[in-house]
């Protein structure tokens, strides 16, 4: 008997296979459900997990008493925000070197800007250490003119015990093209006077381990199921992790957030379709893992972490200011001390603004406490004679008695010599200069406040017309001059000026003869 041909598309015996399959399925029963069971997930690997970025620090850390500084120079393509600490010489020296380094090959002349430039906002900027580098260059709060050149910013990241931590960041390039991005975190011990670079807190293999563990977490996030070891990082990739270790945000519970910049790349990630990261990547590390990465220097610092912050020394007007770098102006006050001088000192302290007081001997009697307070705050004091005569009309003996007598009176109260004077009415000639033998300080801007023009006029006569190196004349015996001081200082700082003492204006060497400006 001949075999029957199979129909198109159907194999011989197919009905029998289907019947058998159905029979087998019918004989299978569904396994019982296990109550509360869920599929296993990835466990955190050795105390590391991906985390949200944690680079913003409390703005309150900026208000601990730092000396707030800012320099903008459009001709040089440069802007720097930074802080200093009264009495912390080593910390200030390290920061000063960082802000000067980009200027080494540039011709630099301090600049002032129009009112409304916003430059009174000074010191560190919360969050800026963690910004995208392009934002540091392009944001007017930090970047150079036209987003081309060098931007230096800082962020206060820690304050505990006698320790403060400040991250300094220097970004160079143009908008969309960053050529360099360098972070350095300095921990200053304000009690011991020492400063330690955060790089000293990490063992040599810490950066590569941070990178490897970060790539493991990214591989899992991208859907990779492999647990094969990650290939070692290149030097370039290790450098990304080292940069992250310069800005670690530790918490009181011992954990920390470590944020790596964009650009993480590895063969494992490329195999999952991720050539390199385009945004910052943060991981959270547990305390035990951190301890394994850290050196003994870090452990010594950690012993203070849960101790309340001891505070910073107060700002003082005598602290160094380099007027070849900063845009300086000297604000001076004549005829005191008077009933408003103490209020003026409070204003100057709040503004971190230095000033020079030319005092009259007849007003010092009964006000020696004010003289001491002016000196204690670091402001300059000059002689304004005993009784305010026109020195060109009284002869050399009377000149000396008036000027030197007042200078000796001030020195006897403060313990510091008085090295310059201001002639009443600005009246001075060669005979007076020869008789006194000290520099005669005049002014380049006279507000004529003695005419009583009102606060608004005093501001207009000083703030918008000032130029770098000017000497401005006020009197602290006039109420409006003192009540306007807050707006005057804020207005000058808004334009980029740093109000300084005469000693600072001239770098400690006031020239001889008649002086009207720097």
Catalytic residues: 334, 475
For the record, the structure tokens of 375 come out as 């000196």
Spatial distance between the Cα atoms of 449 and 437, rounded to a whole number of angstroms = 29
- For 246, phi and psi rounded to 5 degrees? -80, -5
Q: What is the largest CA-CA distance in the chain?
A: 153
Asked if residues 489 and 353 have their Cβ atoms less than 8 Å apart, the reply is yes
Q: Do 247 and 303 meet the contact criterion of CB atoms below 8 Å apart?
A: no
Using a CB cutoff of 8 Å and minimum separation of 24, what contacts does 165-170 make?
165/198, 166/83, 166/91, 166/95, 166/124, 167/129, 167/246, 167/247, 168/82, 168/95, 168/98, 169/128, 169/129, 169/136, 170/98, 170/101, 170/102
The tokens 């519970």 sit on which residue? 253
Taking a C-beta distance cutoff of 8 angstroms, is the pair 62, 123 a contact?
yes
Please tell me the distance from the alpha carbon of residue 488 to that of residue 483, in angstroms, as a whole number. Answer: 9
Q: What share of the chain is helix, strand, coil (3-state, %, to 5)?
A: 35, 20, 45
Taking CA 319 as the corner, what is the angle to CA 313 and CA 322, rounded to the nearest 5 degrees? 140
- Neighbour tally for 132: CB within 10 Å: 16
Measured between alpha carbons, how far is residue 460 from residues 32, 72, 122, 355, 464 in Å?
87, 23, 23, 19, 6
């Amino acid at each position: 008997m001949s075999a029957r041909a199979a129909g198109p598309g159907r194999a011989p015996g197919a009905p029998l296979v289907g019947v058998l399959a159905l029979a087998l399925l019918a004989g299978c029963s569904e396994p019982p459900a296990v109550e509360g069971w869920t599929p296993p997930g990835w466990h955190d690997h050795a105390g590391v997990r991906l985390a949200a970025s944690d680079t913003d620090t409390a703005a309150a850390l900026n208000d601990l008493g730092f000396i707030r500084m800012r320099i903008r120079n459009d001709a040089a393509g440069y802007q720097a925000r930074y802080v200093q600490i009264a009495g912390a010489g080593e910390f200030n020296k390290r920061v000063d070197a960082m802000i000067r380094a980009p200027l080494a090959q540039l011709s630099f002349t301090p600049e002032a800007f129009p009112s409304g430039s916003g430059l009174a906002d000074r010191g560190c900027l919360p969050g800026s250490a963690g910004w995208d580098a392009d934002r540091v260059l392009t944001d007017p709060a930090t970047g150079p003119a036209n987003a081309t050149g060098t931007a230096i910013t800082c962020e206060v990241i820690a304050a505990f015990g006698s320790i403060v931590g400040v991250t300094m960041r220097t970004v160079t390039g143009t908008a969309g093209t960053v050529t360099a991005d360098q972070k350095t975190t300095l921990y200053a011990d304000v009690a011991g006077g020492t400063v330690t670079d955060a790089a000293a807190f990490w063992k040599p293999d810490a950066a590569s381990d941070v990178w490897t563990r970060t790539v493991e977490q990214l591989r899992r996030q991208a859907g990779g199921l492999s647990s094969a070891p990650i290939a070692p990082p290149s030097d370039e990739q290790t450098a990304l992790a080292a940069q992250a270790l310069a800005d670690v945000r530790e918490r009181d519970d011992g954990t920390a957030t470590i944020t790596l910049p964009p650009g993480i790349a590895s063969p494992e990630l490329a195999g999952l379709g991720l050539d390199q990261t385009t945004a910052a990547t943060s991981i959270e590390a547990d305390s035990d893992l951190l301890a394994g990465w850290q050196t003994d220097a870090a452990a010594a610092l950690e012993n203070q972490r849960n101790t309340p912050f001891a505070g910073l020394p107060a700002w003082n007007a005598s602290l160094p200011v380099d007027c070849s770098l900063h845009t300086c102006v000297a604000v001076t006050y004549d005829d005191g001390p008077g009933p408003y001088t103490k209020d003026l000192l409070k204003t100057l302290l709040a503004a971190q603004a230095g000033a020079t007081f030319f005092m009259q001997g007849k007003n010092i009697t009964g006000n020696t406490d004010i003289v001491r307070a002016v000196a204690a705050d670091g402001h300059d004091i000059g002689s304004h004679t005993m009784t305010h005569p026109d020195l060109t009309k009284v002869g050399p003996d009377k000149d000396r008695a008036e000027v030197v007598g007042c200078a000796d009176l001030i020195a006897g109260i403060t313990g510091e010599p008085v090295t310059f004077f201001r002639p009443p009415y600005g009246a001075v000639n060669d005979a007076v200069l020869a008789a006194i033998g000290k520099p005669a300080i005049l002014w380049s801007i006279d507000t004529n406040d003695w005419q009583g023009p009102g606060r608004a006029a005093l501001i207009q006569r000083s703030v918008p017309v000032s130029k770098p190196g000017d000497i401005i004349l006020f009197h602290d015996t006039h109420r409006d001059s003192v009540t306007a001081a807050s707006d005057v200082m804020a207005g000058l700082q808004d334009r980029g000026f740093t109000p300084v003492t005469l000693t600072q204006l001239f770098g400690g060497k006031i020239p001889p003869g008649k002086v009207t400006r720097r």
